[in-house]
Amino acid sequence: MKLYDYGAAPSPRRVRIFLAEKGLEIERIEVDLRTGQHLKPEFRALNPRGVVPVLQLDDGTCIDESIAICRYFEELQPEPPLMGTDAKSKAMVDSWVRHADFDGFLAVADAFRNSTPAFAKAGLPGADEPVPAIEALVDRGHASITRYFNRLNQRLAESSYLAGDSYTAADISALCVVDFAKWVKRTVPDTHTDLLRWYAEVSARPSASA
């Protein structure tokens, strides 16, 4: 079993943190996004979408998408549970993970990819053809980051963790979004005391450095 990874990218980090929380170690292969290794035929044969992470099983099956990979390991090793334990908690985890995906990661990616000169013709990851950056998406991305931070703070005023009383994949996802936002010089506002409390706690977990 092999995990195709890139240490600097936020999406593979979700899997690394998840594995660290599970106490699992698997072989990792670094795919250098800076040199376009993810766009070469060898990697495209594993994942035609040209993005990391990718988990290659011993039988050759390849699974992409961070949360799909996390789900695979959750099924292999249910303890400690990181994706819920019953219908309600599983739904809550899934809900907050999707918030992170659509309201968090995509927002930061819009602000980052459309404002960074290196991505002037690569507005979307893994595209086979040039995709021009769109300047208007930068402001939209920043506005979405603001809304996402507000929602996190509101939720964490009423709950220790995003999906309830336990640390889960929802918290892993949100942590990665908050750190990813630093790439566009966005940090949690001082007024968001509940989000800051949560961020300090989850960042202090040993797994956060994975």
The whole-model pTM stands at 0.96
- Residue 82 inside a domain? The answer is no
- Residue 69 inside a domain? The answer is yes
Average pLDDT across the chain, whole number: 96
* Cβ contacts of 31-38, under 8 Å, gap ≥ 24: 31/4, 31/5, 31/6, 32/6, 33/6, 33/8, 33/9, 38/6, 38/126
pLDDT tens digits for range 45-77: 999 999 999 999 999 999 999 999 999 999 999
DSSP codes of every residue in 129-141? S-B---THHHHHH
Dihedral, CA of residue 70, residue 73, residue 74 and residue 75, to nearest 10: 130
What is the average per-residue pLDDT within 126-131? 82
Tell me: do 53 and 92 sit in the same domain.
Answer: no
Last residue of a domain, one of 41, 76, 111: 76
| Structural domain of 64 | 2-76
Q: What is the pLDDT of residue 40?
A: 94
- Residue 54 inside a domain? The answer is yes
Tell me: do 7 and 44 sit in the same domain.
Answer: yes
Question: What whole-number distance in Å separates Cα of residue 76 and Cα of residue 11?
Answer: 21
- Residue 133 inside a domain? The answer is yes
- Residue 153 inside a domain? The answer is yes
CATH number at residue 59: 3.40.30.10
Last residue of a domain, one of 26, 52, 76: 76
Proportion of the chain above pLDDT 90, given as a percent: 92
What is the average per-residue pLDDT within 106-118? 95
- Residue 192 inside a domain? The answer is yes
∠ CA 26-85-22, nearest 5°, is 20
Q: Which tokens hold the place of 163?
A: 């999906």
- Residue 195 inside a domain? The answer is yes
Tell me: do 64 and 91 sit in the same domain.
Answer: no
Count Cβ atoms within 10 A of the Cβ of residue 60 and give its class: 0-12 exposed, 13-18 middle, 19 or more buried.
exposed
Question: What whole-number distance in Å separates Cα of residue 69 and Cα of residue 49?
Answer: 16
Q: Which tokens hold the place of 122?
A: 């690569």
